[in-house]
Amino acid sequence: MLRNIAIIAHVDHGKTTLVDGLLAQAGTFAAHEEIAERVMDSMDLERERGITILAKNTAIQVGDVKINIVDTPGHADFGGEVERVLKMVDGAILLVDASEGPLPQTRFVLRKALEAGLRIMVCINKIDRPDARIQEVENEVYDLFIDLDAEEDQLEFPMVYACAKEGWCTMDPSEKEENLGCLFQNIIDFFPEPDGDADASLQFLVTQLGYDPYLGRLAIGRIVNGSIHSRDELLLCGEDSERKIKVNQLYTWQGLKRVETQLAKAGEIIAIAGIAELNIGDTLTAIDDPRPLPRTKIDEPTIGITLLANTGPFSGREGKYVTARQIRERLEKEMLHNVALRLQDDGNMEAMKVYGRGELQLAILLEQMRREGFEMCISKPEVVTIEENGVTKEPYEIASLDFPDTFIGVVTEKMNLRKGRMLEMKQAGSGRVRVEFRVPARGLIGFRGEFLNDTRGQGILNTLYDGFDTQAGYIPYRLNGSLVADRKGKTTTYALFGLQPRGKLCVGVGIEVYEGMIVGECSRENDMNVDATKAKQLTNFRSSGADEKLILAPPIQITLEKAMEFIAEDELVEITPENIRLRKKELAGNKRSVVRGEKKKKK
Ligand SMILES: Nc1nc2c(ncn2[C@@H]2O[C@H](COP(=O)(O)OP(=O)(O)OP(=O)(O)O)[C@@H](O)[C@H]2O)c(=O)[nH]1
Ligand SMILES: [Mg+2]
């Protein structure tokens, strides 16, 4: 017997932790094996950030039932990934945090799961939280199903209450249990055996692409109908071409491992090695009876950045790959398996435009490239616009903000500036409010940092894509100018100390700067060209230790995401394996104006 399920939820509601529990209790690991927490989050960046970026497969064996489980990412930027893997499964466990309740991404993934016609079971997780409000969350979940037009029978789902972290669940929230037994039982009883006819003509939909250093590219997906033997000759139906291919090895999952198999039948989720050049959405089918499946369509990207080769004076110092051609090749490779990303296809080497679902998704790509040794510059993120019946439209998002109610004034004001329209305001308990705004995606660029600042780090921001709509007006973006280095050299304590009253610095002492590099945020609206390398004039009088008295405030740490949020249209982020620098597009001070913002617009 076989079950194919996905675990879906809003970010951080505990999907990966629950998979840990399922793996451990199904006896997947040998006694001596040491298991990392959130073992499915295997990429470096995933472990560092504590979020899942790529959906991943695993399988467990419970008695004579094999359960294929797909762990999905919960962050809104990776929604495209979730949308796709839902095509591979027959059911989904919707996980909801017992305190936070359904959040924007819960809605998104549930809608996609309902659209895909999956059976859905609900699991309220983190019931150990002291602020758990199980009954209310339960009602909110039912409301959400109804809101999304679930069919009558889709409302009759089993409800399991879990503490994934401690590895137990229960059908009755007032009683604690020892293990995840009732979840296993419900998975087996509630989800259907995959349909599909093993004797029919083959149909295999490529849903994910994997990579193995020894095997090369792996095509991952589900056998919808028919069977595949290793060494089969098959027809690969691409978007607008067909060709014959030969299957090398076939794999299924066992725990976290791929195991080779000779034969796989309808319903199984498998990986196929040995096929070069195939894309997500392609179908593998029989040569004598080809039946390609419809290609998966996923939501369009909403935000884009321009990548340029690094032309700054430090170009090539820290990176291995610096030319535009290398960057373009890397991007083209990425597009093959990251279908929620799009590379503008104009062959332009000077400025390569990459579009994605959000800033985080783009930042992850850049971070990966940086670690591989790439060096590049990027422009300020901008939203995608489309023309519809002569009207220019831009993407909108539903932003839901959760913060202490004392900040309601300042947050509402900021949202208004960014053309956000309030949809709903609710008390969220313990002095917090939850407010929903509909806001142009453009208005959210750079908002997260500001919002965290305004709410003293206590705010939670979630966003959900809400389609294209008529373009909103001008949105004031960054109110402050930049402090720009006016010459090459190393920063000195003396110079930086003198600059402190001018704004917030983002470089420390002894950092190499160049003309046109941004060393801080100016406290005024204009840019200011400054000398950050000035040394103290030496005099004949020795004033011992005078320099040590100059105490500098620690510089602002610029992370990639912060940098992307910060820069203005005439600025760039320079990314190298070792550093993230901010710079003016035009480096030479005498070729650029320091006037910015409103004043510049009026001119
Ligand atoms: N208190 C409590 N915390 C939990 C429970 N389950 C998970 N957590 C914590 O919640 C955090 C997020 O868990 P993850 O498993 O990474 O969540 P996720 O849904 O996989 O997150 P994404 O993949 O990024 O969407 C971790 O710090 C877990 O330790 C639980 O039952 N109770
Ligand atoms: Mg996860």
Q: What secondary structure does DSSP assign to 328-340, as a single string? A: HHHHHHHHHH-TT
Residues in the chain: 603
Residue 198 and residue 268: Cα distance in Å, rounded? 10
User: Does the Cβ of 13 fall within 6 Å of ligand 1?
Assistant: yes
Q: Let me know if residue 196 belongs to a domain.
A: no
Ranges of residues in the chain whose predicted pLDDT is under 70: 29-33, 298, 347, 538-548, 597-603
Q: Which of 250, 285, 320 is the last residue of a domain?
A: 285
Q: Do 49 and 184 belong to one domain?
A: yes
User: Does the Cβ of 52 fall within 6 Å of ligand 1?
Assistant: yes
- Report whether 381 contacts 587 (CB < 8 A): no
The CATH number of residue 585's host domain is 2.40.50.250
pLDDT of residue 227: 94
The CATH number of residue 216's host domain is 2.40.30.10
| CA 175, chain centre distance (Å) | 37
User: Does the Cβ of 128 fall within 6 Å of ligand 1?
Assistant: yes
Q: Do 69 and 28 belong to one domain?
A: yes
User: Does the Cβ of 12 fall within 6 Å of ligand 1?
Assistant: yes
User: Does the Cβ of 10 fall within 6 Å of ligand 1?
Assistant: no
Q: Let me know if residue 475 belongs to a domain.
A: no
Tokens of 21: 């529990």
Q: Which of 353, 383, 413 is the last residue of a domain?
A: 383
Q: Do 361 and 227 belong to one domain?
A: no
pLDDT of residue 603: 43
Q: Closest Cα partner for 533 from 491, 497, 496?
A: 491
Q: Do 265 and 280 belong to one domain?
A: yes
Neighbours of 219 (CB within 10 A): 25
Q: Which of 442, 470, 498 is the last residue of a domain?
A: 470
Residue 252 and residue 271: Cα distance in Å, rounded? 6
Residue of the CA atom closest to atom 13 of ligand 1? 14
Q: Do 417 and 376 belong to one domain?
A: no
For 285, the 3-state DSSP assignment is strand
Tokens of 185: 């039982």
pLDDT of residue 200: 92
Q: Do 345 and 402 belong to one domain?
A: no
Which H helix or E strand runs over 382?
strand 382-383
Q: Do 375 and 391 belong to one domain?
A: no
Q: Which atom of ligand 1 is nearest to the CA of 13?
A: 19
pLDDT of residue 448: 83
**Count of CA atoms in the C-beta half-sphere (13 A) of 244:** 6
Residue 427 and residue 425: Cα distance in Å, rounded? 7
User: Does the Cβ of 11 fall within 6 Å of ligand 1?
Assistant: yes
H-helix segments, 358-475: 359-371, 408-417, 441-444, 447-454
Q: What is the pTM of this model?
A: 0.83
The CATH number of residue 366's host domain is 3.30.70.870
Q: Which residues pair with 271 in a beta bridge?
A: 220, 251
Q: Let me know if residue 198 belongs to a domain.
A: no
pLDDT of residue 30: 66
Ligand 1 pocket: which of 48, 100, 165 to mutate (most atoms <8 Å of CB)?
165
Tell me how far the alpha carbon of residue 332 lies from the centroid of ligand 2, in angstroms.
27
For 252, the 3-state DSSP assignment is strand
Ligand 1 pocket: which of 13, 17, 105, 179 to mutate (most atoms <8 Å of CB)?
17
Straight-line distance from the first to the last Cα atom of the chain, in angstroms, rounded to the nearest whole number: 72
User: Does the Cβ of 74 fall within 6 Å of ligand 1?
Assistant: yes
Q: Which residues pair with 245 in a beta bridge?
A: 234
User: Does the Cβ of 165 fall within 6 Å of ligand 1?
Assistant: yes
Q: Let me know if residue 292 belongs to a domain.
A: no
Residue of the CA atom closest to atom 21 of ligand 1? 12
pLDDT tens across 209-238, in order? Answer: 887 878 888 899 999 999 999 888 999 998
Q: Which atom of ligand 1 is nearest to the CA of 166?
A: 31
Tell me how far the alpha carbon of residue 70 lies from the centroid of ligand 1, in angstroms.
16
Tell me how far the alpha carbon of residue 533 lies from the centroid of ligand 2, in angstroms.
46
pLDDT of residue 286: 92
Q: Do 424 and 533 belong to one domain?
A: no
Tell me how far the alpha carbon of residue 17 lies from the centroid of ligand 1, in angstroms.
6
- Report whether 43 contacts 58 (CB < 8 A): no
- Report whether 231 contacts 246 (CB < 8 A): yes
User: Does the Cβ of 163 fall within 6 Å of ligand 1?
Assistant: yes
Q: Which ligand is nearest to the CA of 18?
A: 1
Neighbours of 341 (CB within 10 A): 19
Q: Let me know if residue 134 belongs to a domain.
A: yes
Q: Do 160 and 223 belong to one domain?
A: no
Which H helix or E strand runs over 44?
helix 44-49
How far is the CA of 451 from the CAs of 160, 363, 380, in angstroms?
Answer: 35, 19, 19
pLDDT of residue 602: 47
pLDDT of residue 238: 87
Q: Do 228 and 352 belong to one domain?
A: no
Q: Let me know if residue 293 belongs to a domain.
A: no
pLDDT of residue 601: 53
The CATH number of residue 29's host domain is 3.40.50.300
User: Does the Cβ of 164 fall within 6 Å of ligand 1?
Assistant: yes
How far is the CA of 399 from the CAs of 237, 385, 419, 435, 471, in angstroms?
Answer: 40, 19, 12, 8, 17
Q: Let me know if residue 172 belongs to a domain.
A: yes
Its domain, for residue 320, covers 303-383
Tokens of 82: 């979730």
Q: Which atom of ligand 1 is nearest to the CA of 20?
A: 15
Q: Let me know if residue 195 belongs to a domain.
A: no
H-helix segments, 126-266: 134-147, 181-190
Q: Which atom of ligand 1 is nearest to the CA of 129?
A: 1
Q: Do 164 and 16 belong to one domain?
A: yes
In the chain, the number of structural domains is 5
Residue 10 and residue 137: Cα distance in Å, rounded? 14
Who surrounds ion ligand 2 at CB < 5 A? 15-16, 52
User: Does the Cβ of 79 fall within 6 Å of ligand 1?
Assistant: no
The CATH number of residue 436's host domain is 3.30.70.240
User: What's the Rg (C-alpha) of the chain?
Assistant: 27
Q: Do 22 and 148 belong to one domain?
A: yes
Tell me how far the alpha carbon of residue 93 lies from the centroid of ligand 1, in angstroms.
15
pLDDT of residue 458: 85
Neighbours of 119 (CB within 10 A): 16
User: Does the Cβ of 596 fall within 6 Å of ligand 1?
Assistant: no
Burial of residue 162 (number of CB atoms within 10 Å: 0-12, 13-18, 19+): buried
Which H helix or E strand runs over 113?
helix 104-115
Tell me how far the alpha carbon of residue 485 lies from the centroid of ligand 2, in angstroms.
42
